[in-house]
Structure formats: structure tokens, C-alpha cells
Amino acid sequence: MFDPTTLVGFHTWLSLVAIATGLFVVADLIAARERGAATIAFLATAIATSATGYLFPFSGVLASHIVGAIALVVLAVALVARYGRHLAGAWRWIYAAAAVASLYFLVFVAVAQAFLKIPALHALAPTGSEPAFAIAQIAVLAVFVGLGIAAARKFRPAGLAA
């Protein structure tokens, strides 16, 4: 699969852990609960994933750098909302939306990587500008918009004033 001792392998491993823990965090948001360890694991691995993306050799700004920068800004908002503002008032739904958006960016990149690395998907969209790629990314976006709305509406962890 991949060698976790290389930068690519480590970055991939971080991405997979961030996506897995992010799925638990989003499910918890929709269920109006929060598990501190899962939240910390998700935010830490999501930040590390975006940050390690800048360690790869490049010449010029790439789309991945732009997505990574946006992801890091969204993660910063999530951190401020959760740990700086302690989910008070509007910071509750801002945190929920930022957490879901952070997971979306990870999945967006995972789908893009799948189309690059999985032969059957690559055959459907060799340049990434074909309809199959666009349809996949629009479907992912639609799912995450729905999850984001649900999380922002339902996330009211115990002990937190609504």
C-alpha cells in the first residue's frame, strides 16, 4: 500500500487517521455530543496533514497549496471556536461548521488522489477535468453541506448553554 517511513507514506497515514477520526467527530456533532480525545486527534492530524503537504518539492503555487492554506485557516477557526471561545454563543455552530468543512477538505483531496492513483478511476478522468471527476466531487460536496447543516443545528453538547 504505502511505506509510512517516507514523507508520502507519513502524509498518507496522517490523512487516513484524520479522515477516520473526523468521521467520528462529525457523527458526534450530529448526535449532540463531543469526545475530547477524538476531537483532539482529528484536529491534530488534520493540521499535520495540511502542514506536511507543504514539505513536498514544488515549483510554484499549486492547487494543493491553496486547498491546504484554506484548510489550515478553517482549522484555525475551529480551534479558536472550540478552545479559545469554548463554544459560547455562535461559536458553537461556527465550530461545528468548521470541523465539518475541515473533514470535507480531507475527503476532497482523498477523492482527487483516488482519481490519480486508482487505475479504474484514472481511466474515467485522466486529467481531472472530466465529468466523472466533477460528479464525484459535487456528490462529496453535497453530502458535506448536508452534514454541515445538520451538525451546526444539532451540536449542543451536554453542559453547554444553548
**pLDDT per residue over 56-103, tens digit each?**
888 889 888 999 999 999 999 999 999 999 999 999 999 999 999 999
Per-residue model confidence (pLDDT) at position 162: 47
User: Is residue 1 predicted with pLDDT exceeding 60?
Assistant: no
What does pTM read for this prediction? 0.92
The per-residue DSSP string of 60-127 comes to S--HHHHHHHHHHHHHHHHHIIIIISTT-TTHHHHHHHHHHHHHHHHHHHHHHHHHHHSHHHHHH-SS
**CA 118 to CA 135: how far, in whole Å?**
17
Grid coordinates belonging to 18: 484524520
The per-residue DSSP string of 20-56 comes to HHHHHHHHHHHTT---HHHHHHHHHHHHHHHHHGGGS
Per-residue model confidence (pLDDT) at position 2: 65
**CA 162 to CA 159: how far, in whole Å?**
9
